[in-house]
Amino acid sequence: MKRKLIAISTVVALTAITATVVQAQFAKPDAAIKYRKSALTVMGTHFARIGAVVKGEVPFNKEEVAKNAAIVNTMASLPWQGFGPGTEGGDALPSVWSESAKFHSNSEKLQAATAALNTAAQSGDLEAVKKAFGATGQACKACHDDFRKKS
């Protein structure tokens, strides 16, 4: 009897701790989904501004590209905390949770690519920016192919 009580109170305590940890990050799953979409939207917006320069649609302004790349690089570290347990939905495929090691590895590859893009942009070398932009786009695409709903 005593053992059963200890077992039950352990489960209750662990459940409470887990709930608190999830809640410390986001009030509810919808907030996590909104957060990760927002971070990805801001990242995509500033990435596209560099893309316009890379494609020759907008003249190369070193400072502007450097600012945009710094934002992309900062944003690249953020979305992942919004993909925690119990936050399935939005545009994310179930593979985010069932293949979490691969998802995590892809997120690290993206962050390595945006760090290189930022380094290139801060150097002001447009050719280096073009190369790093292409590599970053590949990292975006790799994850979208396997983990994002096709629209």
Catalog residues that contact ligand ASC under the rule CB under 6 A. 44, 47-48, 51, 137, 140-141
Beta strand extents in 16-137 (DSSP E only): none
Min CB(94)–ligand ASC separation in Å = 20
Query: CB-wise, 29 or 137, nearer to ligand ASC?
Result: 137
Name the closest residue to ligand ASC (Cβ).
44
Query: CB-wise, 44 or 84, nearer to ligand ASC?
Result: 44
Query: CB-wise, 32 or 140, nearer to ligand ASC?
Result: 140
Query: CB-wise, 49 or 66, nearer to ligand ASC?
Result: 49
Q: What is the DSSP letter of 85?
A: T
Between CA 148 and CA 151 the distance in angstroms is: 9
Min CB(28)–ligand ASC separation in Å = 26
Min CB(136)–ligand ASC separation in Å = 8
Query: N- to C-terminal Cα distance for the chain?
Result: 55
Q: 4 burial class (0-12, 13-18, 19+ CB within 10 angstroms)?
A: exposed
Min CB(14)–ligand ASC separation in Å = 38
Instruction: Enumerate long-range contacts of 125-130, CB under 8 Å, 24 or more apart.
Output: 126/53, 126/60, 126/65, 129/50, 129/53, 129/54, 129/65, 129/69, 130/54
